[in-house]
Amino acid sequence: MSSATPEMIVKKEAHIGWMTFNNPLRMNAVTLDMWKAIPEIVADFEADPDIRVMVLTGAGDRAFVAGADISQFEENRSSADAVNSYDEISGRAFAAIAETKLPTIAMIHGYCIGGGLGIALSCDIRIAADHSTFAIPAARLGLAYPLEGTHRLVEIVGPSFAKEIFYTARQFSADEALQMGLINRSVEAKNLEQTTHAMCAQIAENAPLTVTAEKRIIDELVKEPGNFDRAKCEALAAECFSSEDYAEGRAAFMQKRKPQFKGR
C-alpha cells in the first residue's frame, strides 16, 4: 500500500481485516494521510480471499474517531480549491468503506464525532461500548456536512432524528444512539471486542456470495426513488444460485454438517 502511514494499523486474523485509526493523542482524528490510506487498505482486504469481514476501530480507549484533524484545516482547507481537494480525498475514503463488497463493522468506544460518525455510518453495522458518545458538531464550526454522510444518516435514523443531531450539535449517549437506531448494539466496554469477534465469526462462516449479494441488494433498495436497479439485484441473486457455495450449502444441510463455503 503506497499510502501506508503509521497512523493506520492494518491487521488480518481469522477471516477479519482490522483497520485501526491510530492517532490517539488527538483522539484518532483523521489526518489527510489517513484519508488517503483508507481506499488502499480496503482494496487490500478485498483482494485477499481469506478476508470475510472488515472491522474499523480506534486506537486506545478514549475514542473511535473524534472527527477530522482540525489542526490541518488551515493548511489543507483554507481556500475553495483546497476544500474541494480535501473533500475529494475524504470522499473517496468514505466511498471505499461504504461500497466495499465486504461486510463492515464499526467497533466503537468513546468519542465518535463528526467525520468519525461519518466513518461509522459508512459501515454496515455499528457496535458500541455503552460509554460511547456521538455527535456531528458541524453547526458549531460553520461548515456543511458532506452530502453522502447526511444521506446515510437520514437512511439510518430518519429525517427527524437527523435534524435533531444536526440542529443541536450536542453529544448523544450510547443509549440514545441505540434508541434512534444509530447503532446496532450497545454493550459493556469489557465485552466490546468479544461481541464484535462473535459477530464476525457468525458472518465469516456464512456464504460470502450471499452476504455480498444481500449487501448490494439492500443498498439498492434504500436508494432514492427511481434509482433502484432491479436487473442488478436479480443478477446478484442468480450468481448465488449458480455458485459452488449453493451446492455446498444444500449438501451440508442434507448431510447434517457444517458447510465449508469458498466464496465461489
Q: Would you state the pLDDT for residue 226? A: 66
Q: How confident is the model at residue 148 (pLDDT cuts 50, 70, 90)?
A: confident
User: Is it the case that residue 230 has pLDDT exceeding 80?
Assistant: no
Give the rounded percent of residues in the chain with a pLDDT score beyond 70: 86
Q: What is the per-residue burial (b if ≥16 Cβ within 10 Å, else e) of 211-220?
A: bbbebbbebe
Q: Tell me the angle at which helices 244-254 and 208-221 cross, rounded to the nearest 10 degrees.
A: 110
- Please give the Cα distance from 86 to 79 (Å, whole number): 10
As a whole number of Å, the end-to-end CA separation of the chain is 26
Q: What is the chain's Cα-based Rg?
A: 19
**Which pLDDT tens digit goes with each residue over 62-78?**
999 998 777 666 565 55
Give φ, ψ of 191 to 5 degrees: -105, 5
pLDDT at 46: 96
Task: Give the pLDDT band (50/70/90) at residue 19.
Answer: very high
User: Which of the given ranges, 97-101, 149-153, 252-256, has the highest pLDDT on average?
Assistant: 97-101
pLDDT at 250: 62
> pLDDT tier at 1 (50, 70, 90 boundaries)?
very low
Determine the pLDDT at residue 228: 62
What crossing angle do the helices spanning 32-47 and 80-99 adopt, rounded to 10°?
20
Residue owning grid cell 481469506: 50
- Give the pLDDT band of residue 44 (cuts 50, 70, 90): very high
For the segment 168-194, the average pLDDT, to the nearest whole number, is: 97
What's residue 2's pLDDT? 44
Percent of the chain with pLDDT over 90: 62
| Sign of the CA dihedral running 26, 30, 106, 208 | negative
Rounded-to-integer distance, Cα 14 and Cα 10, Å:
14
Helix-, strand-, coil-residue percentages of the chain, each rounded to 5 = 55, 15, 30
Predicted TM-score of the model (pTM): 0.84
**3 state SS for 191-226:** HHHHHHHHHHHHHHCCCHHHHHHHHHHHHHHCCCCC
pLDDT grade for 93, boundaries at 50, 70 and 90: very high
